[in-house]
Every structure is written in structure tokens, then in C-alpha cells.
């Protein structure tokens, strides 16, 4: 099993045939598993007639982009898209600002009572949104944060900061001590070595956190819905009730809405797939 | 790689921002809210009008009022119904509320009790036009002591939509006018080959379900009208029993327990249900949605004895929220908004029924349909007002779902509901209707 | 070299410890500020009798454990508690088993292993709200799932319109999200099993199945427990999926603690009851969280 990844497989060799067989099985598994995504996309290109038709079709017989136009043409659509990005971006920034130093502190220093700190971070992941809504609303109201872009990310980051701590801590632990000792001897302060030596050393892990925390912000429904009612400040997910009540069972429009929400995720994922996969596998489990 | 990621995110964000103004202009084919040029005091108004007709109407009406006077600027904001309810509930604790808020009439009593709305009896008590408001909708704006917290803005009720082609096909000449005739019509129009059900309604586990279920419960059988306060009476279960039979016999889709009113209306328009329970507001779009596929008509809901009918009053109120920046002016706006003339205009434009007797809308489309809804209003029941209406409502749709899904007998299901509802109504009875 | 440096600067140990706290503290303070108040708020509220009748009047009083007592005597709550555990264990069993099998497969090295297992993460990355909508569509009476079942002569099943099958549909959708998550974490667990152990055992004539149960499973114990714990936490507090896909229905059959506490607080205005339900949920997770903590602390001591 200790294959050299750079080895060039040839299909006529035994190794090559094995590679081909496994790849074919993998493609089949992938297609089955991702079929619902295809299903969503194909419905989104169907006409109303076909959506309500008496026969279930597996691809659009009357191809139309009307359902997409119904969504994209919404007066607030582009604002919502921008707001989703802002929501994801701010969540990411907060997660980095609080999560990375904490993960570093817990990974690199032998601290008394670090279990207690870890518990604090863990507990925060255990709260259902419904438990948080009213009291958080009260806090944000006192801090005059309601109706700003900051309230939802602050709440969402309370879930992704712990994820960052749990995932990044083993990364920082695994960096050789010699590395930052050397930096120190070269006259680096702790802060300088943190930024210049340690962060680059755990790059893969950080990219995972960047992506996941961005997605947490992008995907959030509950907090954003509650803390921001101004239509010009709401992200895409918050429109879900509007679309549901407006369309009823107009599945083509609903699925186009879903596809619009998912598409950026897929695009981002294709770019970053290698890093996210690497980061996630190395992280949580080694805890 | 990190740089690559940042650049991916950034470029996506840039595309979104740069293209924003271009597309926004394209989409703005309809009238927009005029800006506050006069620098008048701004009052926020939250609403959940989301049909194309009423969403446009609220903007037009605010524009008109803002141009009409200089004291205040009314700024309408759309918040979906579900979220609006959350906002009021949280607002009851935090005090963050709009100045004027729209509310579904059966929910108003709970919010009054929660302190979401302000007592405006001083401002509205002596208003002589108030006598022209229909008592049903108006009662939902008052608490048990008769204090008033807002005004009803529009009302609606439920009628039967009939696919005339399907009826003819089944060999029925007359639109059913009694529960027995209706039962027969549903049986005969059901056509599995065309995947068409006889009847469609919404029995979803929300207030919408209760809204559509109530007419079948408070119906008149053998000359007696069932009351919500006695669901164990002799004929109380008849209607629900018939509906349960439809589901059991494949004449109504069991998916009605997941359908909103928009869904059951869509089923009708798509020809997948020969008869359906629809609301007044659907008249604004029904012609386009049926799109000439079949002939349709609107009729009274045949819920009981021949010649009787029952329905539920729906509609929206506007209340003055606690902490309103300028109560006097907000009330003045409501008085204008709900004046006879504006009411008539609103009803026509948004496809609703007016809430006062001296408003006389002239509908230039679906006249017969509107006439039918107006007549149905005479037999329609107001929900509550009652602060614990949500609990009562939950019992109604739960009872129906037990019958539809678990095959429980209608009498048993209603008896279980009665066990919860009766003590609540004993402590705080429903007003006389 | 490092050891020498450490000995020389023994005095610096304390300062370095302070440094460590300085790195952690902003995060800890952030969490306490954002999350601490909500917990205390709910705890207090759950001991009162705040509801629609007395919130505005401010006449609610402390009633001790009354809400909790009433909840545990309420058949609806007990059903919901049961639902929550069925949903959690149902999801865990299937997403773990399937995730494990996929992990064993994708751990093998072949050209497309990386890209395809990456693409399979998409369901995990999607907004739950969209997953819920998709689930609603797939499980329609005349939807895709029933169509596929009809090809093998099964059904049609009532899915979301029956109290018997709605939970199954929700669990299937949740597994669709959870499988890739489990698969990834388990692949990394597998990579911790040294190759030479297998080589030694195959010389001893152990079969593949024996190898799996005697070597792979025991060596992955920590990873497996961690995956199950994390899965438990994420599944037990589920909200979005049911909220969109079934709204807890029909007849509470897919209602779980998360959705029920929301309904109580935001639809029925029984605020204290809603908080009590949320606290029950929190307590259950607290137990699991402490178990998890014991596990990882123990794991680190063994290192």
C-alpha cells in the first residue's frame, strides 16, 4: 500500500487495471451520492407546466431559464448576494481573530486548567440557535448592533471559533519546537514568531478554517433572519420564507433558488478542495 | 494558496458589487418608494404583503400619503410573516419594534397581551367613522376591556373554487350547495387516470391549516351550528369525518397536511384538483394561473345543510407598536389608510375585501368571484380574539391531521381537542359572534 | 538544542505561561460574552412561569423546577425527547457505517480518489435550508424516491405524510449531509494505522475480516469515538433541517428538542417552557461534551 503517489499508472499493468477498476467504482459512487444535486439543477430548468406535469421527468424536456430569472430578477437579489458575502467574510474574520490565537495558545503552551478552557469552547458548540435568539437580541440591542452587518457574524462566529480551536490546536502542536525557538534566538518576539513562523507553518489548517467559517456565515439562516430585518441588508438564505410563501409548490423556482445558494459553495470548493480535505482530516480526529 | 482563496472570494464579491447598480435598474420596472425629500419624521411600517398586487399597492399608498402631508414619512419594510411573528415576540422582550406593524388578525390578541401594541383608545375612541367598520374584523383590534390598539385594514374569507369542465365531465350540472352534494361531486370528479383529485385544501400544521379547516367544523347540520366551545356536540364531527373520508378514499391528497394555501391553490390551477378551498386574495391572479386551461367558478363553501355555508374571516390589521415615535401622526395615517375611499381603492388594487360598510370597491376583474366572497363574509367566523388562540389553533389542525393521517375517528380527535380547548375558553371565553 | 534553551530560561517558564493565557484569553472572553449570557438567561427563565399572559404585566414568578416536572409528565415532550434520540442514533448509525465503508474504499490510493471524495463533501457544505427544501421535493408522493422504489416494485410510500415514515425521510437527508463528514474524519483515522502491522498479520495468515476486527478497529478506537461524539453533538441539536423540511410534522413525528423549544417560545408564547426544553437539550449535550473531554484528555496523557 505504500504507493509512490508520483508513480505513473499504466492500464495494461496489474496496478493500472486495479487503478482503473477503483476509479470506475468511485465515479459510480460519486454519481449516486451526488444525484440529488443533479436533481435540483434539472428541476430548476423546467417550465411550470413540466414541473406540475403528470409524468416525472429526469431532465427538462422544455428547457427554460425562467425560474432562474424569477430569482435573479428579484429587486434585492444582488444586494442579498453581496450581503451573503459580507456575512461570510465577517464571520471568517472574527473566527480568525479569536480562533487562531486561542488555538495557538492551547497547542503551544502547557497551561494549568486548559481543560476548563477547552470545555468553554466545546460548550459553545452545543447550543441550539433557538436558545440563543432572545438573549442575544437583548445584548445586541443594548450595544446598538441590530440592523448592522455585525450582529449576525458575531453570533455565528460563536460557533465557528470553537471549531477553529478544536481543529487548529493539533496543527500547532505538531509544529516542531525547534522552529520557533530558532526564531526566538534570531531575535523574534513572541508575536513576531507567531505571525511570521507559526501561521505559515499551519497554512493548510488555516485555509480549512477560512473556508468553513466563511460557509458558516454564508449558510446561516436563523441569526441573520432575526437580527437583520432591513431588506437591503439581508443575505440570500433569509429570503427562504419569502420564496416559500410566494411560490408554494413551484418547485422549479424553489430549486433555482437553492441552486443559486449552492453554486458559490461548489465553485469555491472546486478551487480549494485539496486543502479543505487535507485540513479537516488532519484536524479534528487527532484531538 | 491563501492568496488564491482571498482572490477568489474578493473577485466574487467584486462581481456582486460592480454589477449591482446595473441590474438593479433593470429590475426596477415597478414603482419604487419615493425618498424622504421633505425631511419629515420617519415612521417605519412592517408588513408581509408579498403577492405582486399587494406588494406594489403598499408602496403606492405610502408614496401617496407621503406626498399628501409634511408631518411624517411612512417607510414600509417587507418582513415575511413567519419572521415578523418572531420579531414581535422578541420585540415584546427587547422593546425593539417598528412604529406601525401589520399583523394577521387572529394573532393580534396575543401580541396585545404581550404588550407589542399600544393602547390608542384616546386617539380612536371618539372617531365617528369607526361605526362603519364591520364588527368582526374590528373586534380583533380590541382587548377584553374594549381598548383599541389599531385598525383592521383588509379582510378576506374562503370560498370554493370549481373546475367547471371537470364537473361537467363527471356529469354534474350544478355546483354543490350542501355537504352531501359536495361529497358526491368530490367522489365523481376524482380521476386517477388524469391524476386529478376531487378536492384540495390546506391542512398544514400552522394557522393556515386552522383557517381552512374551521369552516368544516363550525358548519350547520340539521339546523344547528357547531360552536368552537363545544366540539363534542352531536354533529360537530360530521364535516371533518367527510374530509377524512376523502383522504382515505384517495379523493384528496394526504399531502394536504404539508400544503400551504398557495400550494392547494396551485394544485387547482394546475388541474390536479377539481375543487379547492381558496381565499379572496387568489382572485387577483387566478386568471393568469389557470391560463385558459379550463372554465372555473367561485362558489360558497358547501359545509353543511342545503342553503347554509360557513367560512373563516381572515385579514390583516395594522397596530401602533409600543414605543411608536409619534403616536398621533401614526394614528392619523391609519385613519387615512382605512378611510372609505382608500379602502375601496386598496380592495380593488390588491384583490381584497374592504373592512367597512361604506367602502364600495368596483372590481374590474372577477366581479362574480368577488361578489361570492362578499356574500360568504356573512357566514364567516372570526378567529378569537383570544390571547391563547395559538394553542386553540394547534388543537384544530392536530385533530384534523390525526383523522387524515392516522385514520382516527373525527369524533375522537375533536373530543381530544376539546379537552384542551374547553378549559381555556372557560377561563377566557370567546366573544359572541 | 531546544532542551538546553529551555533549561537556561527556566525563569521564563512563568512568563511564557502568561503569554499562553494572553493568546487564549481574547477567545475565551469572546465566548463568555456572546454565549455566557444566553445560557444564564435561559436557565433563569426556565425556573419562572413567563407566558403570554404575564410577560407584559411583569407578574411572572419563580416556580422552581415546576416547568421541568410538567415537561416530563407531558406525553408530547416525551415523544419529542424520544424523537430526538431516534433521530440522533438513527443518523449516527447509518452515517457512520456508510461513512466508514466509504472511508475504507477511498483510503485506497487511485487516481480519482482525491477529487471524488472532495466532491462528495458538497452536501456537507450546503446550507441546511437548501437540503431541507431538496428533501421535501425528493420525498413527494410522486417524487424521485417513490419513482425509484417503483422500479424495484416497492411503494409508493407516504414519506412526509405519515407519522411512521416522516422520520425515516428526515434521517436519510441528514445522513446525506453526515456521511461525507464521517468519511473524511475516518479516512484520517485510518491513516494513523501503520502499514507494517497489516504486513505482519498477513504473514501470520490472518484473513481480511480478522485483520479488520483485530487490528483496524482497535487502533482506530479514539478516532471512532471522536467522530461519534462530534456527530452526536451536531445531530442532537438539529433545527434547520426539520424547520424547513417538515416543520416538525406531521403530528410532531419529526419534532425534536430544537424545533419544539422554538415552537413553544415563538408560536405558543410559553417562554419559560421553551427555555426549559432548551436547557434539557443543553444538559444532554453537556454530558456528551464532558465524556468527549475526558476522552481527549486521556488520549493526550497516553501520548
Average pLDDT over residues A172-201: 79
Asked whether residue C27 is assigned to any structural domain, the reply reads: no
- Do residues C224 and C269 make contact, with C-beta atoms less than 8 angstroms apart? no
Q: What pairing do the DSSP bridges indicate for beta strands B273-279 and B158-163?
A: antiparallel
For residue A48, pLDDT over 60 is answered with: yes
Residues of B with Cβ-Cβ distance to C142 under 8 angstroms: 195
Residues B418, B335 share a domain? no
Asked whether residue C235 is assigned to any structural domain, the reply reads: yes
Asked whether residue C56 is assigned to any structural domain, the reply reads: no
Report the Cα–Cα distance between both ends of chain C, in Å, rounded. Answer: 22
pLDDT at A273: 65
**A211 falls in which pLDDT band (50, 70, 90)?**
confident
CATH code, domain carrying B77: 3.40.190.10
Cell readout for A161 is 471559533
pLDDT at A12: 62
Q: Do residue B255 and residue C140 have CB atoms under 8 angstroms apart?
A: yes
Strand blocks (E) in B30-149: 41-47, 72-78, 100-104
Cell readout for B369 is 368571484
Asked whether residue C99 is assigned to any structural domain, the reply reads: yes
pLDDT at B99: 96
As a whole number of angstroms, the longest Cα–Cα distance in chain B is 79
For residue A136, pLDDT over 50 is answered with: yes
Tally Cβ neighbours within 10 Å of residue B293: 13
Which residues have CB under 8 Å from B258's CB, separation 6+? B204, C136, C160, C161, C246, C249, C250
Dist. CA B245–CA B400, nearest whole Å: 12
**How confident is the prediction for chain C on average, in pLDDT?**
84
Tally Cβ neighbours within 10 Å of residue A229: 23
- Do residues C217 and C130 make contact, with C-beta atoms less than 8 angstroms apart? no
Give residue B142's domain range. Answer: 41-155+314-374
The alpha-carbon gap from B125 to the nearest alpha carbon of chain A, in Å, equals 33
Q: Do residue C127 and residue A2 have CB atoms under 8 angstroms apart?
A: no
Nearest to B276 by CA among B259, B293, B292, B288: B259
Dist. CA B378–CA A193, nearest whole Å: 80
pLDDT at C208: 77
What does pTM read for this prediction?
0.86
Query: Cell 408579498 belongs to which residue?
Result: B50
Nearest to B6 by CA among A236, C124, A203, A150: A203
Residues of C with Cβ-Cβ distance to B195 under 8 angstroms: 142
- Do residues C106 and C117 make contact, with C-beta atoms less than 8 angstroms apart? yes
- Do residues B324 and B238 make contact, with C-beta atoms less than 8 angstroms apart? no
A vs B: CB pairs below 8 A:
117
Asked whether residue C64 is assigned to any structural domain, the reply reads: no
Average pLDDT over residues A137-144: 87
**A60 falls in which pLDDT band (50, 70, 90)?**
confident
pLDDT single digits (tens) C118-156: 788 888 888 888 899 899 999 988 889 999 999 998 878
Alpha helices in chain A (DSSP H): 14-43, 48-51, 66-72, 77-108, 114-124, 129-142, 151-174, 177-185, 190-193, 199-201, 203-219, 222-227, 240-247, 251-282
Exposed / middle / buried, residue A34 (Cβ in 10 Å: 0-12, 13-18, 19+): middle
For residue A170, pLDDT over 80 is answered with: no
Q: Do residue C141 and residue B253 have CB atoms under 8 angstroms apart?
A: yes
For residue C3, pLDDT over 70 is answered with: no
Dist. CA B219–CA B302, nearest whole Å: 9
Residues B224, B291 share a domain? yes
Asked whether residue C103 is assigned to any structural domain, the reply reads: yes
Least confident of A155-164, B93-102, C226-235: C226-235
For chain C, the residue count is 303
- The secondary structure of residue B70, as a DSSP letter, is S
**Domain edges within chain A:** 29-68, 69-286
Look at C170 and B85; give whichever has higher pLDDT.
Answer: C170
Residues of C with Cβ-Cβ distance to A251 under 8 angstroms: 137
Look at C223 and B100; give whichever has higher pLDDT.
Answer: B100
Q: Is C157 on the interface with B (CB under 8 A)?
A: no
3-state SS class at A68? helix
Residues B231, B321 share a domain? no
3-state SS class at B78? strand
Please give the helix or strand (H or E) that residue B86 lies within, else none: helix B81-94
Give residue C201's domain range. Answer: 71-302
Our count of domains for chain B comes to 2
As a whole number of angstroms, the longest Cα–Cα distance in chain A is 76
CATH code, domain carrying C118: 1.10.3720.10
Q: Do residue A131 and residue C106 have CB atoms under 8 angstroms apart?
A: no
- What's phi and psi for B46, nearest 5 deg? -105, 135
pLDDT at A279: 55
Residues B214, B179 share a domain? yes
Asked whether residue B13 is assigned to any structural domain, the reply reads: no
Conformation bin of residue B117: beta by default, left when phi > 0, alpha when psi is -120 to 50: beta
- Nearest 10 degrees: Cα torsion A193, A198, A199, A205: -170
pLDDT single digits (tens) A216-240: 898 888 888 888 877 788 888 877 7
Q: What pairing do the DSSP bridges indicate for beta strands B224-225 and B220-221?
A: antiparallel
Q: Is A263 on the interface with B (CB under 8 A)?
A: no
Our count of domains for chain C comes to 1
The alpha-carbon gap from B425 to the nearest alpha carbon of chain C, in Å, equals 14
3-state SS class at B297? strand
Nearest to A218 by CA among A267, A262, A279: A262
Asked whether residue C104 is assigned to any structural domain, the reply reads: yes
Per-residue b or e along A96-127, where b marks 16 or more CB atoms closer than 10 Å to that residue's CB: bebbbbbbbbbbbbebeebeebbbbbbbbbbb
Nearest to B361 by CA among B309, B416, B283, B307: B283
Dist. CA B175–CA B165, nearest whole Å: 12
Residues B55, B165 share a domain? no
Dist. CA C119–CA C135, nearest whole Å: 20
pLDDT at A4: 46
Dist. CA B169–CA C256, nearest whole Å: 47
Q: Is A105 on the interface with C (CB under 8 A)?
A: yes
Dist. CA B325–CA A219, nearest whole Å: 35
Residues of B with Cβ-Cβ distance to C161 under 8 angstroms: 254-255, 257-258, 405
Strand partners, B73: B42
- Do residues A257 and A239 make contact, with C-beta atoms less than 8 angstroms apart? yes
Asked whether residue B328 is assigned to any structural domain, the reply reads: yes
Least confident of A227-241, B259-273, C7-21, C90-104: C7-21
Q: Which CATH superfamily, name and number, covers A69-286?
A: MetI-like (1.10.3720.10)
Please give the helix or strand (H or E) that residue B108 lies within, else none: helix B105-114
Q: What pairing do the DSSP bridges indicate for beta strands B380-381 and B311-312?
A: parallel
**C54 falls in which pLDDT band (50, 70, 90)?**
confident
What contacts 24+ positions apart, CB below 8 Å, involve C85-90? C86/C167, C87/C167, C87/C170, C87/C171, C87/C174, C87/C235, C87/C238, C87/C254, C87/C256, C88/C232, C88/C235, C88/C236, C90/C167, C90/C168, C90/C171
Tally Cβ neighbours within 10 Å of residue B431: 14
For residue C19, pLDDT over 60 is answered with: yes
Q: Which of B50, B77, B267 sits opposite A229 (nearest CB)?
A: B77
pLDDT single digits (tens) A69-120: 877 877 778 888 889 999 999 999 999 999 999 999 888 887 777 778 878 8
pLDDT at B15: 45
- Do residues C131 and A29 make contact, with C-beta atoms less than 8 angstroms apart? no
Cis bond upstream, residue C156 (ω within 30): yes
- Do residues B62 and B33 make contact, with C-beta atoms less than 8 angstroms apart? yes
Dist. CA C10–CA A157, nearest whole Å: 37
pLDDT single digits (tens) A233-268: 888 887 777 666 655 667 888 888 888 888 877 777
Alpha helices in B270-409 (DSSP H): 286-290, 327-337, 340-350, 367-376, 389-406
Query: Cell 422504489 belongs to which residue?
Result: C149
Residues B146, B229 share a domain? no
Query: Dihedral of CA B24/B25/B26/B30: which sign?
Result: positive
Cis bond upstream, residue B157 (ω within 30): no
Written as one string, the DSSP assignment of chain C is -HHHHHHHTTTHHHHHHHHHHHHHHHHHHHHIIIIIHHHHHHHHHHTB---TTTTTTT---B-TTHHHHHHHH-HHHHHHHHHHHHHHHHHHHHHHHHHHHHHHHHHS--TTHHHHHHHTTHHHHS-HHHHHHHHHHHTSTTSHHHHHHHHTT-----GGG-TTTHHHHHHHHHHHHHHHHHHHHHHHHHTTS-HHHHHHHHHTT--HHHHIIIIIHHHTHHHHHHHHHHHHHHHHT--HHHHHHTTT-STTTT--HHHHHHHHHHTS--HHHHHHHHHHHHHHHHHHHHHHHHHHHHHHHH-
Residues B250, B144 share a domain? no
ipTM of the complex: 0.83
Which residues have CB under 8 Å from B75's CB, separation 6+? B33, B36, B42, B43, B44, B45, B62
Dist. CA A137–CA A105, nearest whole Å: 31
Dist. CA B282–CA B285, nearest whole Å: 6
Q: Find chains touching chain C: ≥3 CB pairs under 8 Å.
A: A, B
Residues of C with Cβ-Cβ distance to A26 under 8 angstroms: 105-106, 110, 112-113, 116-117
Low-confidence ranges of chain B (pLDDT < 70): 1-30, 433
Nearest to A84 by CA among C277, C150, B230, C129: C129
- Which of A5, A93, A130, A205 is best to mutate for the C interface (most C CBs within 10 A)? A130
Residues B115, B150 share a domain? yes
Q: Is C76 on the interface with B (CB under 8 A)?
A: no
Asked whether residue C31 is assigned to any structural domain, the reply reads: no
Dist. CA B410–CA B236, nearest whole Å: 9
B vs C: CB pairs below 8 A:
68
Dist. CA C21–CA A106, nearest whole Å: 9
Amino acid at each position: 500500500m505504500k504507493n509512490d503517489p508520483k508513480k505513473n499508472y499504466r492500464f495494461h499493468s496489474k496496478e493500472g487495471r486495479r487503478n482503473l477498476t477503483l476509479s470506475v467504482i468511485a465515479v459510480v459512487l460519486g454519481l449516486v451520492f451526488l444525484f440529488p444535486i443533479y436533481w435540483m439543477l434539472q428541476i430548476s430548468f423546467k417550465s411550470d407546466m413540466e414541473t406540475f406535469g403528470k409524468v416525472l421527468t429526469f431532465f427538462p424536456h422544455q428547457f427554460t431559464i425562467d425560474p432562474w430569472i424569477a430569482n435573479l430578477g428579484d429587486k434585492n437579489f444582488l444586494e442579498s448576494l453581496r450581503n451573503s458575502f459580507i456575512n461570510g467574510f465577517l464571520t471568517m474574520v472574527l473566527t480568525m481573530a479569536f480562533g487562531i490565537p486561542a488555538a495557538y495558545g492551547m497547542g503551544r503552551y502547557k497551561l494549568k486548567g486548559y481543560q476548563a478552557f477547552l470545555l468553554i469552547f466545546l460548550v459553545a458548540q452545543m447550543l441550539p440557535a433557538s436558545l440563543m435568539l432572545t438573549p442575544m437580541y437583548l445584548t445586541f440591542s443594548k450595544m446598538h448592533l441590530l440592523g448592522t452587518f455585525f450582529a449576525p457574524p458575531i453570533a455565528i462566529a460563536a460557533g465557528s471559533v470553537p471549531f477553529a480551536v478544536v481543529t487548529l490546536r493539533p496543527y500547532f502542536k505538531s509544529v516542531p519546537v525547534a522552529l520557533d525557538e530558532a526564531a526566538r534566538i534570531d531575535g523574534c518576539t513572541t508575536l513576531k514568531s507567531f505571525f511570521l513562523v507559526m501561521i505559515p507553518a499551519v497554512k493548510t489548517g488555516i485555509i480549512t478554517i477560512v473556508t468553513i467559517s466563511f460557509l458558516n456565515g454564508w449558510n446561516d439562516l436563523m441569526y441573520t433572519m432575526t437580527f437583520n430585518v432591513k431588506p437591503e441588508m439581508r443575505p440570500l438564505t433569509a429570503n427562504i420564507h419569502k420564496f416559500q410563501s410566494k411560490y408554494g409548490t413551484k418547485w422549479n423556482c424553489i430549486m433555482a433558488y437553492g441552486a443559486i445558494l449552492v453554486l458559490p459553495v461548489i465553485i469555491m470548493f472546486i478551487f480549494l478542495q485539496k486543502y479543505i480535505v487535507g485540513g479537516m482530516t488532519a484536524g479534528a480526529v487527532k484531538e | 494558496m491563501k492568496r488564491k482563496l482571498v482572490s477568489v472570494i474578493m473577485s466574487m464579491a467584486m462581481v456582486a458589487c460592480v454589477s449591482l447598480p446595473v441590474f438593479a435598474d433593470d429590475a426596477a420596472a415597478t414603482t419604487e418608494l419615493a425618498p424622504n425629500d421633505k425631511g419629515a419624521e420617519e415612521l417605519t411600517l412592517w408588513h408581509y404583503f408579498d403577492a405582486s398586487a399587494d406588494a406594489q399597492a403598499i408602496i403606492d399608498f405610502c408614496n401617496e400619503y407621503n406626498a399628501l402631508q409634511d408631518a411624517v414619512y411612512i417607510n414600509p419594510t417587507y418582513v415575511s410573516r413567519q419572521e415578523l411573528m418572531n420579531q414581535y415576540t422578541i420585540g415584546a422582550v427587547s422593546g425593539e419594534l417598528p412604529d406601525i406593524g401589520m399583523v394577521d388578525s387572529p394573532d393580534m390578541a396575543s401580541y396585545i397581551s404581550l404588550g407589542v401594541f399600544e393602547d390608542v383608545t384616546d386617539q380612536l375612541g371618539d372617531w365617528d367613522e369607526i361605526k362603519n367598520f364591520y364588527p368582526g374584523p374590528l373586534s380583533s383590534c380590541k382587548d377584553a376591556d374594549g381598548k383599541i390598539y389599531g385598525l383592521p385594514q383588509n379582510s378576506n374569507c374562503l370560498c370554493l373554487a370549481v373546475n367547471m369542465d371537470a364537473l361537467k365531465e363527471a356529469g354534474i350540472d350544478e355546483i354543490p350547495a350542501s355537504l352531501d352534494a359536495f361529497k358526491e361531486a368530490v367522489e365523481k370528479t376524482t380521476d386517477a387516470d388524469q391524476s386529478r383529485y376531487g378536492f384540495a385544501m390546506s391542512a398544514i400544521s400552522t394557522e393556515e391549516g386552522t383557517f381552512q379547516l374551521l369552516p368544516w367544523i363550525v358548519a350547520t347540520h340539521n339546523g344547528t351550528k357547531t360552536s368552537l366551545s363545544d366540539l363534542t356536540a352531536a354533529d360537530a364531527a360530521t364535516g371533518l369525518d367527510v374530509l377524512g373520508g376523502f383522504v382515505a378514499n384517495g379523493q384528496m391528497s394526504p399531502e394536504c397536511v404539508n400544503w400551504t394555501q398557495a400550494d392547494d391553490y396551485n394544485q387547482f390551477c394546475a388541474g390536479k384538483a377539481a375543487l379547492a378551498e381558496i381565499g379572496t386574495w387568489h382572485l387577483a391572479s387566478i386568471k393568469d394561473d389557470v391560463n385558459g386551461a379550463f372554465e372555473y367558478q367561485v362558489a360558497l363553501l358547501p359545509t353543511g345543510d342545503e342553503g347554509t355555508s360557513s367560512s373563516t374571516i381572515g385579514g390583516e390589521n395594522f397596530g401602533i407598536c409600543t414605543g411608536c415615535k409619534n403616536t398621533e401622526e401614526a394614528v392619523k395615517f391609519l385613519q387615512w389608510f382605512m378611510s372609505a375611499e382608500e379602502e375601496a381603492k386598496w380592495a380593488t388594487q390588491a384583490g381584497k375585501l374592504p373592512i367597512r360598510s361604506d367602502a364600495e370597491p368596483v372590481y374590474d376583474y372577477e366581479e362574480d368571484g368577488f361578489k361570492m366572497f362578499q356574500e360568504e363574509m356573512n357566514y364567516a367566523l372570526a378567529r378569537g380574539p383570544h390571547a391563547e388562540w395559538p394553542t386553540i389553533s394547534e388543537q384544530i389542525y392536530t385533530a384534523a391531521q390525526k383523522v387524515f393521517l392516522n385514520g382516527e375517528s373525527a369524533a375522537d380527535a375533536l373530543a381530544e381537542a376539546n379537552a384542551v380547548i374547553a378549559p381555556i375558553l372557560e377561563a377566557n371565553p370567546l366573544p359572541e359572534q | 538544542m531546544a532542551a538546553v534553551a529551555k533549561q537556561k530560561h527556566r525563569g521564563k517558564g512563568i512568563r511564557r505561561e502568561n503569554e499562553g493565557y494572553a493568546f487564549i484569553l481574547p477567545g475565551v472572553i469572546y465566548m463568555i460574552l456572546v454565549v455566557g449570557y444566553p445560557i444564564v438567561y435561559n436557565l433563569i427563565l426556565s425556573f419562572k412561569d413567563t407566558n403570554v399572559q404575564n410577560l407584559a404585566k411583569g407578574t411572572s414568578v419563580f416556580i422552581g423546577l415546576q416547568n421541568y416536572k410538567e415537561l416530563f409528565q407531558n406525553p408530547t415532550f416525551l415523544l419529542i425527547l424520544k424523537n430526538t434520540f431516534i433521530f440522533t442514533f438513527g443518523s449516527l448509525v447509518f452515517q457512520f457505517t456508510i461513512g466508514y465503508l466509504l472511508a475504507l474504499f477511498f483510503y485506497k490510493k487511485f487516481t480519482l480518489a482525491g477529487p471524488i471524495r472532495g466532491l462528495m463533501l458538497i452536501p456537507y457544505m450546503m446550507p441546511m435550508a437548501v437540503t431541507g427544501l431538496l428533501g421535501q421535493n425528493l420525498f413527494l408522493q410522486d417524487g424521485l424516491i417513490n419513482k425509484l422504489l417503483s422500479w424495484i416494485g416497492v411503494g409508493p410510500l407516504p414519506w412526509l405524510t405519515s407519522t411512521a415514515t416522516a422520520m425515516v425521510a428526515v434521517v436519510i437527508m441528514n445522513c446525506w449531509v453526515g456521511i461525507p463528514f464521517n468519511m473524511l474524519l475516518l479516512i484520517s483515522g485510518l491513516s494513523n494505522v501503520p502499514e507494517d502491522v497489516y504486513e505482519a498479520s498477513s504473514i501470520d495468515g490472518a484473513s481480511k475480516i480478522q485483520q479488520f476486527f483485530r487490528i483496524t478497529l482497535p487502533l482506530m478506537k479514539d478516532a471512532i469515538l471522536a467522530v461519534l461524539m462530534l456527530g452526536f453533538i451536531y445531530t442532537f441539536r438539529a433545527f434547520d433541517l426539520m424547520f424547513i423540511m417538515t416543520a416538525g410534522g406531521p403530528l410532531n413525528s419529526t419534532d425534536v428538542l430544537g424545533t419544539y423549544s422554538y415552537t413553544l417560545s415563538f408560536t405558543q408564547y410559553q417562554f419559560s417552557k421553551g427555555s426549559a426544553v432548551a436547557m434539557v437539550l443543553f444538559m444532554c449535550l453537556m454530558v456528551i461534551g464532558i465524556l468527549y473531554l475526558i476522552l481527549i484528555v486521556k488520549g493526550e496523557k497516553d501520548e
